[in-house]
Amino acid sequence: MSEIAKIELEGKSYEFPVFEGTENEKAIDIGNLRAVTGYVTLDTGYKNTGATKSAITFLDGEKGILKYRGYPIEQLAEKASFLEVAYLLIYGDLPNKTQLESFQADITNHTLVHEDVKQFFEAYPAKAHPMGVLSSIICSLSTFYPESLDPNRSPEAKNLTILRLLGKAPTLAAWAYKNAMRHPFIYPKNDYDYCKNFLYMMFALPTADYKVDPVVVDALNKLLILHADHEQNCSTSTVRIVGSSQANLYATIAAGIAALWGPLHGGANQAVIEMLEKIHNDGGDVDKWVLKAKDKDDSFRLMGFGHRVYKNFDPRATIIKKACDDVLEKLKINDPLLEIAKKLEKVALEDDYFKSRNLYPNVDFYSGIIYKALGIPTEMFTVMFALGRLPGWIAQWKEMTENNEPIGRPRQIYTGIVNRDYIPIDQR
């Protein structure tokens, strides 16, 4: 017999069905709670709210498990290419050879951006943060493709927008950097794969030959896979909410990029490096900074520590930590920030404050160090996260639209003043 949840309210008993997912997660389906009881649930920060049913990503924060479409993240990070993972997330299964080749060819076909887009870049100040540039330029793509304004026009039109976004995002991300440097834009080279092409557009100059280091390509491939999806986090929920109003996909993804930018979400990778540099410049006394992080009167937090859902360890951090050691060794880089990061991790993991609150290093703790080793400038770190997360956002949006989910519109409990009469301005 299926389980039933009972709620007692004002002496009356109500029954609600329990929904069980394929990984045995259970939820009380309160879809008609307000209609039958007059009550709503109150859950600030959505800590206990399942906002949707999804078949894309599963994670178990207590056990440190992360799977995309049933495949463990460890296997995908070790063996797959980023485009294989993108295909898996968006279309549901790993591609066969022909499917992957045609996916790659389709994306490559869309790596160029309209020449007019270059003028947008030129209008930004050199100091513009590349996340602000990326978000607004991606939104502005909707003005070049007016047919995309109706996101549900046809499955073919929808897929074309998806391919355009995947193809153009690395070009736009690399150009955001080139623009900040006031360097000439480098056009995509379509015989390069996704990661290699991005690195080429980032680092090549018209004045010299540039060879992309395969160690760097491999590391980037892994990092993008680890970032590719993470179920209903802040930016993905933003994508689903914005998309639920039937806004076009460019605008929807631009909103996701804006949400990712914050230091409590994807912006943490930049914040981690800035924190490590601060500690380093301050003499490297890790204990002092751990004390600051524990002090309730001090707003300082250990960036790259803690996670809303991982309460044991973040499996992505375990993979990244190893990749970080490998990359630094292969590239023969001796980074004092890595030493500080390792000390910080050790001190925090042995400290009761962090242990009792289940605060462990998250994906961003080590990713910044790898990005730094790959030569990616600090302000571009969150852009890298956005490039990785793009297929996840697209997959979640596609799933939501295919399931005809209703517009996202939470309730609230009003706590303001109940009634007042208007007083003319000269009498206030």
Instruction: Give the active site residues.
Output: 307, 364
Report the residue number, 104 or 382, with the smaller CB distance to ligand CMC: 382
Is 303 among the residues that bind ligand CMC (CB under 6 A)?
yes
Report the residue number, 59 or 204, with the smaller CB distance to ligand CMC: 59
Site for ligand CMC in 165-194 (CB under 6 A): none
Is 55 among the residues that bind ligand CMC (CB under 6 A)?
no
* HSE toward the beta carbon, residue 395, CA cutoff 13 A: 25
Is 388 among the residues that bind ligand CMC (CB under 6 A)?
no
Report the residue number, 151 or 306, with the smaller CB distance to ligand CMC: 306
Is 302 among the residues that bind ligand CMC (CB under 6 A)?
yes
**Beta pairing partners, 71:** 68
**Beta pairing partners, 7:** 14
CA distance linking residue 194 with residue 86, whole number of Å? 11
Residue 112 C-beta: closest distance to ligand CMC, Å: 31
| DSSP category for residue 148 | G
Is 196 among the residues that bind ligand CMC (CB under 6 A)?
no
Specify whether the CB–CB gap between 290 and 258 falls below 8 A: no
Site for ligand CMC in 257-286 (CB under 6 A): 264-266, 268
Q: Which of 362, 367, 396, 401 binds ligand CMC (CB under 6 A)?
A: 362
Residue 357 C-beta: closest distance to ligand CMC, Å: 4
Helix (H, G, I), strand (E, B) or coil at 312: coil
Q: 220-224 — which CB contacts under 8 Å span 24+ positions?
A: 220/195, 220/374, 220/384, 221/81, 221/82, 221/195, 222/77, 222/319, 222/323, 223/320, 223/323, 223/367, 223/370, 223/371, 223/384, 223/388, 224/82, 224/85, 224/195, 224/384, 224/387, 224/388
Residue 354 C-beta: closest distance to ligand CMC, Å: 7
Residue 59 C-beta: closest distance to ligand CMC, Å: 10
28: phi then psi, degrees, rounded to nearest 5: -85, 120
**Beta pairing partners, 9:** 12
Is 304 among the residues that bind ligand CMC (CB under 6 A)?
yes
Is 311 among the residues that bind ligand CMC (CB under 6 A)?
no
Element (H, E) at 278: helix 268-281
Residue written as tokens 């793509």?
Answer: 141
Is 363 among the residues that bind ligand CMC (CB under 6 A)?
yes
Report the residue number, 34 or 63, with the smaller CB distance to ligand CMC: 63
Calculate the dihedral angle through the C-alpha atoms of 348, 351, 353, 356, rounding to the nearest 10 degrees: 100
Residue 286 C-beta: closest distance to ligand CMC, Å: 14
CA distance linking residue 78 with residue 90, whole number of Å? 20
Is 236 among the residues that bind ligand CMC (CB under 6 A)?
no
Is 389 among the residues that bind ligand CMC (CB under 6 A)?
no
Report the residue number, 55 or 264, with the smaller CB distance to ligand CMC: 264
Q: Residue 365: CB partners within 8 Å, gap ≥ 6?
A: 272, 303, 304, 305, 317, 320, 341, 345
Q: Which of 286, 293, 319, 376 binds ligand CMC (CB under 6 A)?
A: 293
Is 28 among the residues that bind ligand CMC (CB under 6 A)?
no
Residue 242 C-beta: closest distance to ligand CMC, Å: 18
Q: Which of 183, 280, 292, 301 binds ligand CMC (CB under 6 A)?
A: 301
Report the residue number, 299 or 412, with the smaller CB distance to ligand CMC: 299
Instruction: Tell how strand 12-20 and strand 4-9 pair up.
Output: antiparallel
Mask of contacts with ligand CMC, 211-230, x by CB under 6 A? -------------------x
Is 387 among the residues that bind ligand CMC (CB under 6 A)?
no
Specify whether the CB–CB gap between 229 and 395 falls below 8 A: yes
Contact residues toward ligand CMC (CB under 6 A) are: 230, 233, 264-266, 268, 293, 301-308, 357, 359, 362-364
